[in-house]
Structure 1
Amino acid sequence: MNEPQSARPCFVTPRPSACPGLLRIVAARDGGICRIKLAGGVLSAAQAQAVATAAQTYAQGVIEVTNRANLQIRGIGAEHQALIGELLGAGLGPANPASDDVRNLMLSPSAGLDPQMLCDTRPLAAQILASLENLPHLHALSPKFAVSLDGGEGLAMLEHPHDLWLSALRLDGQVWLGFGLAGCPAHDAPLAAVPLEHGHALVIAVLELFLDLARPEQARMRHLLQDVPAAELLGQLQARLPVQWRQVSGWQRPTREAYRHLGIYPQVQDGLVAVGAAPALGRLDSCLLGAVAQLAEQLGDGSLHLTPWQSLLLPNVPASNAGSVLDALQGLGLTVSAEQPLARLMACTGSQGCAKGLADTKGDALALAAQLPADTALHLTGCQRSCAAAHVAPLTLLAVAPGHYDLYQRNAQHPGFGVLRARNLTIEAVGALLAADTRSTLHD
C-alpha cells in the first residue's frame, strides 16, 4: 500500500513550463496571455462579467475558450497584478496559489445533467480537485499533465488524449470506472476498472506513482511509458490501491453524435434543457461575453458551462424558453448549428498573436468559411504545435507561409496530421479543391 498522504514529503521541484496560468501571464506577440482554469468548465454569470471587465480594462478585450474548457485573456498590458487581483476577487483562482498549474481535470459540460450519464461525476471531480489543490507533493506535476473524467454522458469529448482518462461503465449492474494512460476512450480500451467509489483513490495513486517514477524531464505519462511498460505500471498501481482492479474485455465507449454541443440539448431534469452556441473560432470579446452572461441570468440558472469544442452551454433553461435563448445567442453572432460553416472550422491564434505562427490562420479561416462544403471539418494551424486542436482533425491545413498551407488528411497509419494531400495552397485553392472533392478521399 502507498504511504499515507500526510506522510509524503512536501518539498517539490516544479517542472519548468511556459504555459500561461491565472498567476503566470506569458508574453505573446499580441501581449500577455492569462489562462483561467475553471472547475468542471463552469463559471457563474457574475464571474463571466468579471472576466469581461478585466479583459476590457487591462487588455484588448479579447477572450478565448480553449479546447480544454477553460478561458484565456489575450493582449494583456503592463498591469498584470491588477488583472490577477480582479480575477482572484471574483473567485476564479484556487484558494492555494501553488496549485494553479495542476488543476487540469476535464469533465463533460453536461456532467450531472445528461440523460445518458451512468453517474454524476461532479462529486468525484470535487474530491480530485481538492486533492490537487491541497496536497503539496502533487504540485510537482507538469502544467500540461491532464486528467479526464467521463460519466457516460452523450455530450463528452472522447478524442482528446489525456495522461489519465477515466470512463464510467457498467459491470454486473454496478458503475465502475475504466481507466487508461496516455490515450483517450474514443480509441483505447481501458487497462482495467475500479468501482466508482474508489475513483478518487485511483486518481491519487496514479499521480503519485507517476511522480515517484518519472524523471524531471518526463512531464507527461507518454514519456514515462517509453521507459516503463503499461503492464508494469498497472502491477505497481495495484499495490497502492485499497481495492482489486478488474480487467475489462470487449468494452467500447459509445460515441457521441457530432455537434451536439450546439443547439438545444436535453437534460435528465424534467422541463429543463441546455442551450449551446459557439463564438467564431473560439474567440469572444468583452461585450459578447457580458451579453451571454446576462442571458444566462435572465433565462437560465445564472451559470455558463464551457466546452472542449470551444463553445458555451447555458444549462437549466426551462424548455419553454429554449427557442428564445437560441434566437438570442444567434442574434449575438454565435454559431448555433452544424449547418453553419464556422461550426466545422478550428484555427489557432496565428501570426496576428503568436510569433511561431506562419500565417493569419483566423483571418484565413473566416475567408474560407464562405467556401467550405457541407460536412467538411477543417483545422488551420500556424505551426506544427497544433494549439487549437488537442486531437487530429479530419483535414488539417498547416501554414507554410503567409496565406499558404499544406493540406493533410487524417490517417491512423500515419503519425502527426496524417497523409499529405497537397502543398503550398492558397486559401482560394483550398476552397476550390474542397468544393471539387466533396465526395472524394478527402473525407473520412
Structure 2
Amino acid sequence: MPPTLDATAPGAAVPDRGRADACPGALRLHPADDGALARVRLPGGLLTVRQAMALADAAEALGDGELETTSRGNVQLRGLASHCGAELAERLRAVGLLPSDTHERVRNIVASPLAGLDGHGFADVQAWVRELDARLCASDWAAGLSGKFLFALDDGRGDVAAFDADVTLIAGPDGSALLRLGRAAHGRPVPAGQEVTAVLDAARAFLDALRESGRKAWHLREVPGLLPAGPVPVPAFAGAAPAVGVVRTVASFPAVGRLATAAGGAVAGGLSVGMRFGRAGAAQWRELAGACAGEIRLTPWRGAVLPGSPADRLPALAAAGFRTAPGSPWERATACTGLPGCAKSRADVRADAARALDVAAAAGSPPGMGLPTTGLPVHWSGCERRCGHPAGRWVDVLATGQGYRVTVNGPAAAGAAVDVTNEEMAEAVAEARRTTK
C-alpha cells in the first residue's frame, strides 16, 4: 500500500494531530527494542572535529558504539541505557551540541551541503544556518513548533528545496532570495538582509494561524487552506514587489569522492563520502574527523562532506569502510531500523537490503544506476510507517512477513506492486530503480 496521505492534495485525509509529536531528541530519549535512542539536532549538518569526537566517545561509553545519520542530517545514538540521559546531555553541552534545553527538538534545519565548495549555487548558506539556529533558540514562541517542522536553506541549486520543507529559503543570483511555504510552486522575493527574519516570521505566522483557528497540525502541508497560497504577508515583505518566482528543485545529491568544482571557480573543494544506511562505528567516526580540515557537513542523503580536505585522504576513508567511489547501487539506498531494533518491523530489513545491494554491486550496476541524474532512490521499510523514506519519487520496498513488496511511489508514480522473495528482490529493485515513467 502507498504511504499514508498527509493532506497534500485536495480531498486527502487530514492526519489527527491532537497529540504532541513523539520525535526523540537529545533530552527526550525514545525507548526501542535495542535500548533507548537519542537524536541530536545538527542544523545544516554542521559539526566541528571536537564535536564529532565527542559524539564518538558518547556512542562508545553510553550506547552501542555506532552513530546513525538521518534524512535531515542529524545524528542518532542507539542502544543507550534509559538512565544515561543526564550524562549524555552533559557531554553534548560541553561541546556546544545542546545550546537550548527548551528548543533542542525544533532545530530542524537542512542546508545545501555543497554551498560554497563547488562553484555552483548563489550563496554560502551556512551563515543563514547559524543565524536561524541562534534566533530559533532565542525565540520563546518557537518552542511551540513540532519536532517534525522542517526549515530548508537552499543555495539556489535546488537540492534541499526538493524536500518540500515547511519553510524553504532559496538563494538567487545577485543576492536575491525566495521564500516558499510547504509544497507551493512559487515563492515570494525576500528583501536583502531580511532572509532569516522572513523564515522566522513565516513559522510564527503558521503557529498564530493554528492558534486562532483551533486547528492542530505539525506541518504546513497538513492545513493547505489555513494560510494563503505563497508566502504569508509578513512585515518583512512590506516593501517588496508582488512578483513571485518559480521554485526550482532537482533530485541531486553530493556524489562521493573528490568534489567536482566549476571551471575557474575560487572555491574550497573537498571530499564527499557515503555510509551504509547512514551508520558508522566510533572508530570510523574518528577516522572521518581526522580527515576533515576543520568542519564536517552531514548530508540529508546519509553521507558527509569534508570542506577543503585533500584527495589523498580518500584511501584511508575507503579502508575505514566509507563509500568513496560513485555509481554504486548503494547510492541513495536507505532503510529503516527494522528488526531487532524496532518491534513493529516484520523483518531485519537492513540485513536483507544489504544482501540485495551487494548482489547488484557484484553483478555490475546498470548504466547510470545510482547517479544523480538517473536511477530512483530506494528505501526498505519494515512496516507501513516507512520511517525515513526519501522525498519525491522513490522505490518502496516494504516487508510483508512473507517477503517484500516493491513499488514505485511518489508524485506521478506508475506501475503495479510486485511481491518478491528475498532471493528475487535484488533484480526487482534494480528494475524498479530504472523506472522513468
TM-score calculated relative to the size of structure 2: 0.84
Structure 1 residues 16-415: aligned runs within 5 Å:
16-78=20-82, 79-94=84-99, 96-153=100-157, 156-170=159-173, 174-183=174-183, 189-214=185-210, 215=214, 217-225=216-224, 227-228=225-226, 230-231=228-229, 234=231, 237-238=233-234, 241-249=237-245, 251=246, 253=248, 255=250, 258-266=252-260, 270=266, 272-296=268-292, 301-317=293-309, 321-322=310-311, 324-372=312-360, 373-374=365-366, 375=369, 376=375, 377-401=377-401, 404-410=403-409, 412-413=411-412
- Which deviations, in whole Å up to 9, do the C-alpha atoms of 1:362-412 show, x marking residues without a partner? 10111101232431542111122222223144321011116x111101352
Give the aligned residue type for 1:129: D
CA distance, structure 2, for counterparts of residue 46 and residue 91 of structure 1: 10
CA distance, structure 1, for counterparts of residue 215 and residue 19 of structure 2: 7
Q: Is the 8 Å Cα contact of residues 114 and 153 (structure 1) preserved in structure 2? A: no
CA distance, structure 2, for counterparts of residue 287 and residue 238 of structure 1: 48
CA distance, structure 1, for counterparts of residue 20 and residue 429 of structure 2: 42
- How far residue 271 of structure 1 moved from its aligned partner, in angstroms, is 7.4
Give the aligned residue type for 1:305: R
- Which deviations, in whole Å up to 9, do the C-alpha atoms of 1:64-92 show, x marking residues without a partner? 01111111101111322112211221221
Q: Is the 8 Å Cα contact of residues 17 and 143 (structure 1) preserved in structure 2? A: yes
Q: Is the 8 Å Cα contact of residues 259 and 271 (structure 2) preserved in structure 1? A: yes
Structure 1 residue matching 2:180: 3-state secondary structure? strand
Give the aligned residue type for 2:47: L
Q: Is the 8 Å Cα contact of residues 179 and 199 (structure 2) preserved in structure 1? A: no
Q: Is the 8 Å Cα contact of residues 118 and 261 (structure 2) preserved in structure 1? A: yes
Give the aligned residue type for 2:163: H
Q: 1:431 aligns with which of 421, 426, 429?
A: 426
- Which deviations, in whole Å up to 9, do the C-alpha atoms of 1:71-123 show, x marking residues without a partner? 110111132211221122122111x3111111111111123334112122222
The alignment of Structure 1 onto Structure 2 pairs a total of residues equal to 402
In structure 2, the CA distance between the partners of 1:238 and 1:355, relative to structure 1 (3 Å rule), is: same
Structure 2 residue matching 1:389: 3-state secondary structure? coil
CA distance, structure 2, for counterparts of residue 56 and residue 64 of structure 1: 13
In structure 2, the CA distance between the partners of 1:217 and 1:229, relative to structure 1 (3 Å rule), is: closer
CA distance, structure 1, for counterparts of residue 111 and residue 287 of structure 2: 25
CA distance, structure 2, for counterparts of residue 39 and residue 432 of structure 1: 38
CA distance, structure 2, for counterparts of residue 99 and residue 438 of structure 1: 41
- Which deviations, in whole Å up to 9, do the C-alpha atoms of 1:286-312 show, x marking residues without a partner? 11111211222xxxx222110011001
TM-score calculated relative to the size of structure 1: 0.83
Q: Is the 8 Å Cα contact of residues 21 and 36 (structure 1) preserved in structure 2? A: yes
- How far residue 148 of structure 1 moved from its aligned partner, in angstroms, is 0.4
- How far residue 17 of structure 1 moved from its aligned partner, in angstroms, is 2.5
CA RMSD of aligned residues (A): 2.6
Give the aligned residue type for 2:343: A
In structure 2, the CA distance between the partners of 1:209 and 1:291, relative to structure 1 (3 Å rule), is: same
CA distance, structure 2, for counterparts of residue 217 and residue 439 of structure 1: 37
CA distance, structure 1, for counterparts of residue 433 and residue 73 of structure 2: 33
Give the aligned residue type for 1:384: E
CA distance, structure 1, for counterparts of residue 242 and residue 398 of structure 2: 43
Q: Is the 8 Å Cα contact of residues 395 and 409 (structure 1) preserved in structure 2? A: yes
Q: Is the 8 Å Cα contact of residues 194 and 246 (structure 1) preserved in structure 2? A: no
In structure 2, the CA distance between the partners of 1:433 and 1:112, relative to structure 1 (3 Å rule), is: closer
- Which deviations, in whole Å up to 9, do the C-alpha atoms of 1:297-356 show, x marking residues without a partner? xxxx22211001100111112xxx31x212121111111123222224211111221122
- How far residue 16 of structure 1 moved from its aligned partner, in angstroms, is 1.9
Give the aligned residue type for 1:338: P
In structure 2, the CA distance between the partners of 1:439 and 1:63, relative to structure 1 (3 Å rule), is: closer
CA distance, structure 1, for counterparts of residue 23 and residue 250 of structure 2: 31
CA distance, structure 1, for counterparts of residue 429 and residue 39 of structure 2: 35
- How far residue 159 of structure 1 moved from its aligned partner, in angstroms, is 2.4
In structure 2, the CA distance between the partners of 1:392 and 1:380, relative to structure 1 (3 Å rule), is: farther
CA distance, structure 2, for counterparts of residue 275 and residue 25 of structure 1: 33
CA distance, structure 1, for counterparts of residue 342 and residue 282 of structure 2: 21
- Which deviations, in whole Å up to 9, do the C-alpha atoms of 1:137-170 show, x marking residues without a partner? 111111111110111248x334222111121223
Sequence identity (%): 28
In structure 2, the CA distance between the partners of 1:443 and 1:358, relative to structure 1 (3 Å rule), is: farther
The unaligned stretches of length 5 or more in structure 1 are 1-13
Structure 2 residue matching 1:162: 3-state secondary structure? coil
